[in-house]
Structure 1
Amino acid sequence: MKIAVTTPTGHVGSRVVQLLLQAGVRPTLLVRDPDRLAAHVRERAEVVRCDQGDGDAVVRATEGAGALFWVDPPTDDEDPVAGYARMGANAARAVRENGIGRTVFLSSVGAEKRSGAGEIDGLGRTEELLDATGASVLHLRCGFFYSNLLAEVAALREEGVLRTTLPLDEPMAWVDPRDIGDVAAARLLSDAWSGRQVQAVHGPEDLTYAQAAAILSTALGRPVRAERISDDELRAALRAAGLGDKQVEGFVGMSAWTRDGFRPENARTALTTTPTTLGSWAWEHLRPVL
C-alpha cells in the first residue's frame, strides 16, 4: 500500500517516516525541499517535490495512495485560519479525486470548538473538509508540543523565564511530538479502523506552567520561573516581530480560548496518554541548546 506523508522533515513527520521505513514501507514523501531529507531517507522513499499550497501538485503526488498523513503546514497568509483551511481543502481534494481510503490528520486540542480558538480554527475547518469526503479519517487532537519551548530559548537562557498568557495554575496537556509520530504511524499501518474517528494525544500528564517551570529547572540545571503576561503584551511583542493583525490575533487566540473553562472533548485515558515526560524531553533537546 502506498502511504503518502506530508511535512516529512517536521518534528512529527520525521518520526512517522522513520517508523514507516522500519516497518518495511517505502513511503511517498511530499516535501518542498528534498535536500532537507537525510540521504538514507531519500534512498528508501519516493520523494516528490511538492508545495502543499498547490492543490494540483498535491493531487498528483498522492495518486495511488491508500493512506495519507496530512499536516497543515504553517503559511505566510495574512489570515492564518484561512491559510490552514486552504491547505485542508487541498487535502480533501486529493482524498476525493484519488480515492484515498484512510487519512490521519494532525489536528489539535481545541479544534472541536470550530471557532474562537485562534489559528486552531483553521485545523477545525480542515477536520470538516476531510469529514465531508466520506472517506475514513482520524483526527489526532494533540496537546501543547514540548518543541514549542525551542522558541523560548533566548528567554530561558538570558532571563530564566517561561512566559505565557495563561493562568500559571491552569493545567493542560503537554506532549512530545515524537510520541505523536508513534501514534500516527501505528494508525497509518493499521487497517483495523474505518469511518470518522478522533483520538487525543495528551502526553503523560497535564501540567500547569508553574509545574512546567519547576520541571525545566531540574532538567536544565538552572532556575526557571513562570511569568504570566497580558494578551496586550503578547500582541505588542508579535507586532514588533513583524506579524500582521490577523496573524497576531490568530496567535493570541490559541491561548485565550482555554481560559473560559474549556475541557477537551476527549478525556485523558490509557489510549490518549503517551509516555515521554517533559523532563526527559528537555534534558535531551532543550538543555544542549542553552
Structure 2
Amino acid sequence: MIVVTAPTSGIGRQVVDNLLADGAEVRVVARDPARLEPGVAEKVGIVQGSHSDPAVVAEAFAGADAVFWLVPADPQAPSVHQAYSGFAAPAIEAFTEQKVGRVVGISALGRGTPQAAHAGHVTATLAMDDRIAATGVPYRALTMPSFMDNTLRQVQQIKENGTFLGPSVPDRKAPAVATRDIAAVAARQLRNPAWTGFEEVPVLGPEDLTYAEMAAIISEVLGKPVRYQQVPGEAYKANMMRFSSEAMAQALLDMALAKNEGLDNGVTRTPQSSTPTTFRQWCTEILKPAVERA
C-alpha cells in the first residue's frame, strides 16, 4: 500500500497517475475527494481530511509500505517554519507510530550552501527534512530547483502583455524541472523497497538556463515576442501580500534572493539527477496549449 498526500496538487496527481499505471495499490489523503482527477476515486482508497490532522494521518498511514509526502504550504501561516514543520508534526509522529516502511518527500536544493540559512521556504523545508530523518524512517528527500510549471501562473500575462515577471535576476543560469519528471522519480522511489536510511535525491532537469534564455525559448515556441522582466524585491513582496501573510511573502522573497545568489547551483548534474523534459519541450507541450486556451 502506497499513501499519497496532496493527491490533487500539480505533483501529487501525477504521482497517483504513475502509481496506478504501474498497478500499485494506492490510498490518498484528500480534503476534498471531488477534486481528484476523473476516474481516480474508483481506483484508490480515500481518507478524507488534512494530512496535518493526527487522526487523519493515523488512519491513512496504517499499514503503509510507503508514503509520498508533500506540504501544501499555507500562504496565511504565521511563520514559514509553522507552514512546514508545524504542519508536518502529526505526520512525523505517525511515520513511527504506524511503522511506515519508507517516505519520499518533496524538498529543495540548497543544503550545504551559504545561502540555505536564509532562504525562506527552502530553509524551512530542509529543517522539516531533518525532523523526518531523525525519526529513523527510511527517507528520500527529492531536492528540486524551480519548477517549469510555475510559469503557468503567468499565462494571462504572457498572452496579453508578452512578459513574465519575477524577482529573479535574468542572467544567472540555473536548473529547472518539469513536475511530470518529479512525479516519475517519486513514483519510482515509492515502488522501490530496497533503499534504507536518509538521502537527498537531486532532480535537476536536463539543462541550466537563464530567465533571458527561457524568454527566448517561449518566444520561439509561441511565435511572438516574450521577455522576462525582473521585479524589485519589495514590489514582489507587496504583490505576494495580496495573497499571503507578511511572513510567508517574506519567505518567498528570501528564497528568490537566495536563488539569485546561487542556492540552486550547488549540485553538479549527473545522468542520475538529470530528467528528460527540456524547457522547450515543456513549452511546446504544456505552456503553448495553456496560452492558446487562456
Deviations 1:168-208 (A, max 9, x none): 11011111000000000001111121111111101111111
Whole-angstrom distance in 2 between the partners of 1:41 and 1:253: 37
Whole-angstrom distance in 2 between the partners of 1:100 and 1:231: 42
Alignment pair present for 1:249 and 2:250: yes
CA contact (8 A) 2:138 2:196 kept: yes
- Structure 1 stretch displaced more, 19-28 or 208-217: 19-28
Deviations 1:17-76 (A, max 9, x none): 112112211201111110111342111111111212212211221111011100011213
Residue in structure 1 matched with residue 110 of structure 2 by the alignment: 110
Residue in structure 1 matched with residue 88 of structure 2 by the alignment: 88
Whole-angstrom distance in 1 between the partners of 2:102 and 2:137: 7
Residue in structure 1 matched with residue 274 of structure 2 by the alignment: 273
TM-score normalised to structure 1 length: 0.94
- Does the residue aligned with 2:172 lie in a helix, a strand or coil? coil
Shift of the 34–261 alpha-carbon distance from structure 1 to 2, 3 Å rule, reads closer
CA contact (8 A) 2:52 2:91 kept: no
Shift of the 254–262 alpha-carbon distance from structure 1 to 2, 3 Å rule, reads closer
Residue in structure 1 matched with residue 78 of structure 2 by the alignment: 78
- Match of 2:282, as an amino acid? W
| Structure 1 position 264, deviation (Å) | 4.5
- Structure 1 stretch displaced more, 36-45 or 205-214: 36-45
Whole-angstrom distance in 2 between the partners of 1:41 and 1:112: 40
Alignment pair present for 1:217 and 2:216: no
Report matched runs for 1:15-164 at 5 Å.
15-75=14-74, 76-110=76-110, 115-164=117-166
- Does the residue aligned with 2:132 lie in a helix, a strand or coil? helix
CA RMSD of aligned residues (A): 1.7
Residue in structure 2 matched with residue 12 of structure 1 by the alignment: 11
Whole-angstrom distance in 2 between the partners of 1:111 and 1:90: 24
State the number of aligned residues: 288
The one of 200, 203, 206 equivalent to 1:204 is: 206
Whole-angstrom distance in 2 between the partners of 1:96 and 1:112: 27
CA contact (8 A) 1:145 1:174 kept: yes
Shift of the 7–242 alpha-carbon distance from structure 1 to 2, 3 Å rule, reads closer
- Does the residue aligned with 1:29 lie in a helix, a strand or coil? strand
Gaps of 5+ in 2: none
TM-score normalised to structure 2 length: 0.92
Shift of the 262–29 alpha-carbon distance from structure 1 to 2, 3 Å rule, reads closer
- Match of 2:230, as an amino acid? R
Percent of pairs with identical residues: 32
Gaps of 5+ in 1: none
- Match of 1:200, as an amino acid? P
- Structure 1 stretch displaced more, 215-224 or 84-93: 84-93
- Structure 1 stretch displaced more, 134-143 or 265-274: 265-274
CA contact (8 A) 1:88 1:129 kept: no
- Match of 2:92, as an amino acid? A
- Match of 1:188, as an amino acid? L
Deviations 1:93-152 (A, max 9, x none): 121111112100110123556531112222112101111111110000012111111111
Whole-angstrom distance in 1 between the partners of 2:88 and 2:49: 15
- Match of 1:271, as an amino acid? Q
